[in-house]
Amino acid sequence: MDYRNNDKRSKLDVRSLRQEEFDTDPRSLPLWEKIKWLFLSSANESTKEQDDVERNNEKEKKEELSDEEKIKLEEAKRKKRKIIVFICLLCSAVLSLGSYYYYYTSTHVTQKDLNKCKTFFKENKFSKSFKYCYKAREEEDPDISYYLGYMYETGRGLPPKDFDSDQNKKIALKYYENAASMDLMKAQVKLGNDYMDGSVLTPINEEKAIKWLRHAARHNHDPSKERLVSLLMKKKKISEALEWLKDLAEGNNYDANYQLAMIYSSGEDVKPDYDLAFEYCRKAAAGAHGEAEHLLALMYESGLGTKPDLEQAYIYETRAASHGSVEAAYQSGIMTENGIGTEPNLEKAKEFYESAATMGHDGAAFKMGYFYENGIGTKRDSFQAMTWYATSANHGNTSAMIALGRMHQNGNGTPVNPEEAFFWYQKAAETPNLEAYFNMGLAYVKGIGTEIDTKKAIEYFSIVAASGYAPAEYELGLIYFQMGKYDLASNWFKKALNQGHSFSAAYLGFMAAKGLGEKPSNYMAYFYFLISNELYPSDTTKDNIQLVKSTLSKDQQTAAEIRAQKFLSQIKFNRQPAEQNLKK
């Protein structure tokens, strides 16, 4: 085999490859290619000088060598070439790593790098943006700090090796704070909101939130001013909050004007100033601000900061209702129903109530039930009444719960259902509510939807009677009368009678005639029967009057009649307040 020819082809191939590399203009090559070019060129020059000598020596040696030695020589040359190729590849890898290190750690940053950082970020090319932003991280540029904060917070654009959630959050916060300290408004807004609400980067810290929102507010950022005001009011820093509110109000911020009106009208944190409140409220209402219009209506109605004007109150109340104020719609219904500032109109009142009820106002829903139950402003419809009462009750309206209990108890719009009636009475009593307590007392006395339990009935009636409600006092008297505890019965009947309860007078007359709880006295019996007949005339009472009258002298009859008239004149002043106590 002729190894000489094979060796020549191998050398020619290597030279031709090298020659192609040398023909390339080194100035157009990247840095690591330049180094490679210098390395190969120096190696090429040395080989050219030795080529002739080597050829001669090889010829002489090959002529002297045996075939076996020639094979070994060729193997050595192949190993040498492999080593050279490996060294070249190793150099190439080292130069590539050097290039990566240059991009990410080099302190030499050009304006071109800064522009690429920002341009790629705006184009949502976060991987490229991160490379250039990270390179420029030491630059005093707030935008770059903000971009790095965003990328570390979200993980967008970070190399896989840099994903460390907890560490990245700390780094992100550092960059955001750096940007905010360089007065970048969006970074200040970001930190203010994060500290106010809490976020993945920060826990809630209201003092820090105030600090950064205050910085953002100084850039005339209205949302930051509004959030700052809410925090300052919460922290009772009223004077500063008022300054920012007034600043917002000067810019025709209707919410700010409304808040100032509320502050100065309530006098909760400042000295009340109704004139100033009225002016701020009027400015807010000019922007079709529903809540401000509602407040303005109340000020016109009560004469706060202006002369009382019910017609203006009605105008602004209805405007507020048309601009989405739920309470204004409800109040418009009340004013229209009762003719306050306008002519009474039950049909129109129902429309206002329905508007408020559909927006979730429980009082308006109760009114709708009441209107349908009694046929006010519409046809009587027990089913619709039940539906609206249920809607109101489910929103926590106690009166609606009691109404549902009453309808179930009486079978109005639904089959008689004592258990369901008791359920709603009990639910109303949980609110708590005196009327509901009274109904619970009746339920336990009469066994409405539950077992008769006199002890529980006394508990409920006692709570209501303590408020001065005559029917509860009467029920207690009746329970103790049936139990044979006539002293207690007489005491509660007398309390009820002092508020004009006619049945209490009838029982007291009967007890006086029979001597129950006190000595028998036809004079006192005649006195009580006269009162009972005046309050609630009945044939039974008239018969009792004639029965005891016949046992008295003329003087006794006259004295009892005069005493009864005096008593009746006194209790007229007590009846109305007593009846109202139950609604409180």
Q: What is the pLDDT of residues 456-473, one digit of tens each?
A: 999 999 999 999 999 999
User: Hey, is 392 helix, strand or coil?
Assistant: helix
Q: What is the pTM of this model?
A: 0.69
What is the pLDDT, as a whole number, of residue 20? 46
What is the pLDDT, as a whole number, of residue 579? 44
Q: Distance between CA 575 and CA 468 in Å, rounded?
A: 10
How many other C-beta atoms can be found within 10 angstroms of the C-beta atom of residue 159? Answer: 11
> How far does CA 331 lie from the centroid of its chain?
25
Average pLDDT over residues 506-520: 92
Question: Is the distance from CB of 325 to CB of 293 less than 8 angstroms?
Answer: yes
- Token readout for 525 is 């019996």
Q: Distance between CA 21 and CA 515 in Å, rounded?
A: 136
Question: Is the distance from CB of 347 to CB of 312 less than 8 angstroms?
Answer: no
CATH topology of domain 262-359: 1.25.40
Question: Is the distance from CB of 509 to CB of 503 less than 8 angstroms?
Answer: no
Which candidate, 318, 375, 391, places its Cα nearest to that of 352? 318
Q: In sequence order, which ranges of 106-218 are alpha helices (DSSP H)?
A: 111-122, 126-135, 142-154, 165-181, 185-197, 206-217
Q: Distance between CA 494 and CA 489 in Å, rounded?
A: 9
Average pLDDT over residues 277-306: 95
How many other C-beta atoms can be found within 10 angstroms of the C-beta atom of residue 409? Answer: 22
Average pLDDT over residues 500-507: 92
Q: In sequence order, which ranges of 182-237 are alpha helices (DSSP H)?
A: 185-197, 206-217, 222-234
Mean pLDDT of the chain: 86
Q: Hey, CA dihedral for 447, 449, 455, 457, is it positive or negative? A: negative
What is the pLDDT, as a whole number, of residue 98? 59
Q: Distance between CA 28 and CA 321 in Å, rounded?
A: 77
Residues in the chain: 584
> How far does CA 261 lie from the centroid of its chain?
23
> How far does CA 396 lie from the centroid of its chain?
19
What is the pLDDT, as a whole number, of residue 16? 42
Residue 554 has pLDDT above 80, yes or no: yes
| Greater model confidence, 91 or 500 | 500
Instruction: Note the pLDDT tens digit of each residue in 469-498.
Output: 999 999 999 999 999 999 999 999 999 999
Maximum Cα–Cα distance for the chain, whole Å? 175
How many other C-beta atoms can be found within 10 angstroms of the C-beta atom of residue 42? Answer: 10
Which phi and psi (to 5°) does residue 563 adopt?
A: -65, -40
What is the pLDDT, as a whole number, of residue 79? 78
Average pLDDT over residues 135-150: 92
How many other C-beta atoms can be found within 10 angstroms of the C-beta atom of residue 298? Answer: 18
What is the pLDDT, as a whole number, of residue 165? 77
Question: Is the distance from CB of 439 to CB of 422 less than 8 angstroms?
Answer: no
Average pLDDT over residues 364-370: 97
CA geometry: angle at 215 spanning 214 and 216, to 5°? 90
Average pLDDT over residues 525-545: 93
- Token readout for 252 is 């025709």
Can you give the residue ranges of every domain in the chain?
3-105, 262-359, 495-584
Question: Is the distance from CB of 510 to CB of 490 less than 8 angstroms?
Answer: no
User: Hey, is 286 helix, strand or coil?
Assistant: coil
Question: Is the distance from CB of 386 to CB of 413 less than 8 angstroms?
Answer: yes
Q: Please report which confidence band the pLDDT of residue 11 belongs to, taking 50, 70 and 90 as the band edges.
A: very low
Looking at residue 473, the DSSP 8-state letter turns out to be H
Helices then strands, counting H and E runs in the chain, come out as 29, 0
